[in-house]
Structure 1
Amino acid sequence: MKKHKINIASALAIAVLLVLLVCVRLFQERLFYDPLLDYFRRSRIVLPQYNSVKLFVGLLFRYLLNTIISLGILWFCFKDKSIVKLTAGLYVVFFIVLAAIFFIALATDSPANMLLFYIRRFLIQPLLLILFVPAFYYQKHVK
């Protein structure tokens, strides 16, 4: 079993990238159009009025920021181009599938609030990073 050590520069880069992820979250209301923030925060029954194009662009922009930062974290964790390439491809596929499900659910007359909530959560939060880091660590260093 090969030992994997992260040097100080990589650890500092990971810390900076994690702070950037936190900043995306902290400044979400200023950076992104998302009328569903208040909707889910207050557990409302009726969906707010929204602009589909602006909502899609806001989700895409946020997902793209989180993806770029997450790919940077993966790079500094593993220094492996194949992991970054594979993960980038997975992020694209996940966005297409999740965005399609999200907007289909949103377009229905009585959307399933929990489905919208969880699909949106995967689109706006870096949850995939939490799955990828241990998976790639296991693949590279335990097997």
Structure 2
Amino acid sequence: MNKIVKIAFIILLFLALVLVRAFENVLFYDPFIAYFKDGYLSDPIPVFSGSKLLLSLCFRYGLNMLISLVIIYVAFQNKGFLIFSLKFYLIAFFVLTITFLIILKGELAHGYLFAFYVRRFLIHPLFVLLLLPAFYYKQLTVKEII
């Protein structure tokens, strides 16, 4: 793939991630958006439907994961990186989702910050920002060895 086309495609994919965030209120059920925005200090946790929240988290995480995996594949065109990323995303999803649901079940008894950050990793594509430089560094070090 031509370098300019590759960069343009990656930029479009990052714009897709931005669009997911821009239309979050329309696309996803998340009563915690308003709560973590300004009500977390004084308001009780919002009433929420656990099944709707879980389904929405799955959909949002899956959408962000799919776009992120395409970014990683286009950037490196390495199936090993793609398979590792997919496994990483799936394991992180299960660990973070279970953790988030346990925290919500306890009604944020130990404060809101832990729930806030766990939720942030679930709804935002932060892992792609960690994996891209890691794979770039890995690619550089392998070239130096050979």
The percentage of aligned residue pairs carrying the same residue is 37
Report the 3-state secondary structure (helix = DSSP H, G, I; strand = E; otherwise coil) of the residue aligned with 2:34: helix
TM-score (normalised: structure 1): 0.93
- Are 2:19 and 1:27 aligned? no
> Is contact 1:32-1:58 (8 Å) kept?
yes
- Are 2:137 and 1:141 aligned? no
In structure 1, which of residues 11, 14, 19 is the aligned counterpart of residue 7 of structure 2?
11
- Are 2:127 and 1:131 aligned? no
> How many residues are aligned here?
139
Where in structure 1 are there 5+ consecutive unaligned residues? none
Q: CA RMSD in A?
A: 1.4
Which deviations, in whole Å up to 9, do the C-alpha atoms of 1:55-93 show, x marking residues without a partner?
001111000000000001101110101101110011000
Where in structure 2 are there 5+ consecutive unaligned residues? none
State the partner residue of 2:60.
Answer: 62
State the partner residue of 2:101.
Answer: 103
Query: 1:12 Cα shift?
Result: 1.2
Please give the alpha-carbon distance, in whole angstroms, between the structure 1 residues aligned to 2:105 and 2:68: 30
State the partner residue of 1:40.
Answer: 36
In structure 1, which of residues 52, 68, 74 is the aligned counterpart of residue 50 of structure 2?
52
Which deviations, in whole Å up to 9, do the C-alpha atoms of 1:14-61 show, x marking residues without a partner?
011000000000000000000000000013331000000000011110
> Is contact 1:71-1:87 (8 Å) kept?
yes
Residue type of the alignment partner of 1:121: R
